[in-house]
Amino acid sequence: MSNQLALQMLAKRGVTLNDIAEIVLTLQLPYNNALTKEECAESVLAVLNKREVQFTLYTGIALDELAERRLLPQPLQEIMEHDEPLYGVDETLALGIVHVYGMIGLTSFGYLDKQKIGIIRDLNNQEQGIHVFLDDLVCGLAAAASARIAHQNKNVTDYAPETAQGN
């Protein structure tokens, strides 16, 4: 299946399907207490099946890897090494993953970017390696998979952005 290469690339960078599924479950459980981690993993796989999502992953992960090997031109190399907070291109790229799923995905992305739960926090705290793009890519994948579940959940009517951001 076409999402296998994307999964392998993520695994090589220390992120598993289970890591992302756990974040999706945390996001969606307040709205759907029958939801399982398996369903969340399925949703992540569906997001990873989209070619534009795969292209986004290839691009972001390549930049992280090139920065680790000190192969980027200046000033980009320096910006990546310091994970310059005002850089912002990492978030902009990852937002491409979320866009397909509308406002719920966007709200969840903003929430994850701030709260940094699960593997996102681990990536951010990691001393070794450069994960400037990867943390945002994981936020994007989890937010998109979460929004996808929300759109399929016909029992839920209160998906206002402020609700999604609460608890």
Tell me if 22 contacts Mg ion by CB under 5 A: no
Alpha helices by DSSP H, the chain: 3-12, 17-28, 37-48, 51-68, 76-81, 89-98, 102-115, 119-125, 134-152, 161-165
Q: How many chain residues touch Mg ion (CB under 5 A)?
A: 4
Minimum CB distance to Mg ion, residue 30 (Å): 26
In 3D, which of 144, 146, 142, 116 has the Cα closest to residue 131? 116
Within 126-145, the residues that bind Mg ion by CB under 5 A are 132, 135-136
CA 31 to chain centre: 20
Within 80-99, the residues that bind Mg ion by CB under 5 A are 90
Q: Which is nearer to Mg ion, 39 or 90 (CB)?
A: 90
Tell me if 64 contacts Mg ion by CB under 5 A: no
Q: Would you tell me which residues interact with Mg ion (CB under 5 A)?
A: 90, 132, 135-136
